[in-house]
Amino acid sequence: MYPLVYHRPKTLAEAKELFGAGADATFLSGGHTLLPTMKQRLAAPSDVIDLTAIPEMRGIAVEARLLKIGAATTHAEVAESKIVRDAIPVLAGLAGSIGDRHVRHRGTIGGSTANNDPAADYPSAVLALGATIVTDRRRIAADDFFTGLYQTLREPGEIVTRIEFPIPDSACYAKFRSPASRYSIVGVFVARTGKNVRVAVTGAGASGVFRPAEFEAALSADFRPEAVAHCSVDPDSLLNDLNATGEYRAHLIRVLAGRAVAKPGALQSFK
């Protein structure tokens, strides 16, 4: 890697000051995308600012039917949290299915969400649950936050500090994962609150995580696996790579959506 200066600030104010002073500074949370990119010399920041020691960016709490999770909270902490298991059990299961033990003890919910990898698990939960992404500057609705592959509404220097999840009546996540990377080839998250159903798909979209309107309408009218039997997603809008064709991904979306509805509250992982 190229020479750089590593910083570990203790406050948001210090982190922002360091970012502004750096010639080409970047923030570090879990580092599972940034560090490999730097090792391949595809990125060469002048300063790396580690956000994981800032107290206000950690922690898990429930307030007024909202599950609030600090952005620097690790996947392992989410998976093991009794608060998360009681409020949104499938979110704990999703966190526990990410990568391997080493990844889960270093990767963070804020880093994963801000990075918006097209195959990451968290963006589907954030979008399907209608979460709010809280930054040091503003509050952003999940429907507005994800803008494309590895792209979000976050501006340069803007720090994701926590994510607030409305607690649904029920939710489920079903994913078909790569046996090598454990990334989702297709993942479908279904959340229901009253008669309103939100569905988010990860791993499949050519533009990243997305909500399939036809599936949501069908399940809002009839919350049964049979309701999505004739729903479809245009294969041309999906990824076509060495893991799966667009046609196969379209098939998986329908199958996984049905399985998610059949077992609300559960995590289902297939390979």
Concatenated DSSP letters for 177-237? E-TTT--EEEEEEEEEETTEEEEEEES-BTTSSB--HHHHHHHHH--SGGGGTT----GGG
For strand 139-141 and strand 170-177, is the pairing parallel, antiparallel, or unpaired?
Answer: unpaired
Q: Answer yes or no: are the C-beta atoms of 172 and 268 closer than 8 Å.
A: yes
For strand 66-70 and strand 151-152, is the pairing parallel, antiparallel, or unpaired?
Answer: unpaired
- Mean pLDDT score, 86-94: 95
* Architecture of the domain whose range is 170-270: 2-Layer Sandwich (3.30)
pLDDT category at 266 given cuts 50, 70, 90 is low
Residue in the structure block whose two tokens are 């077992």: 263
The pLDDT tens digits of the residues spanning 31-70 come to 878 887 888 888 888 999 999 999 999 999 999 999 999 9
- If one looks up domain 57-166 in CATH, what number appears? 3.30.465.10
Give percent of the chain with pLDDT exceeding 90.
79
Q: Answer yes or no: are the C-beta atoms of 103 and 32 closer than 8 Å.
A: yes
DSSP character at residue 245: -
The pLDDT tens digits of the residues spanning 198-243 come to 999 999 998 899 999 999 999 999 999 999 999 999 999 999 998 8
For strand 66-70 and strand 160-166, is the pairing parallel, antiparallel, or unpaired?
Answer: antiparallel
Q: Where are the domains of the chain?
A: 57-166, 170-270
Q: Answer yes or no: are the C-beta atoms of 177 and 93 closer than 8 Å.
A: no
Could you give the 3-state DSSP secondary structure of residue 145? helix
From CA 23, how far away is CA 195, in angstroms rounded? 51
208: tokens are 């990243």
pLDDT category at 128 given cuts 50, 70, 90 is very high
Q: Does the structure show a pLDDT above 60 at 82?
A: yes
231: tokens are 């729903």
Q: Does the structure show a pLDDT above 90 at 159?
A: yes
User: What angle, 0 to 180 degrees and rounded to 10, lies between the N-to-C axes of helices 246-262 and 213-221?
Assistant: 20
Give percent of the chain with pLDDT exceeding 70.
97
From CA 234, how far away is CA 240, in angstroms rounded? 12
DSSP character at residue 264: T
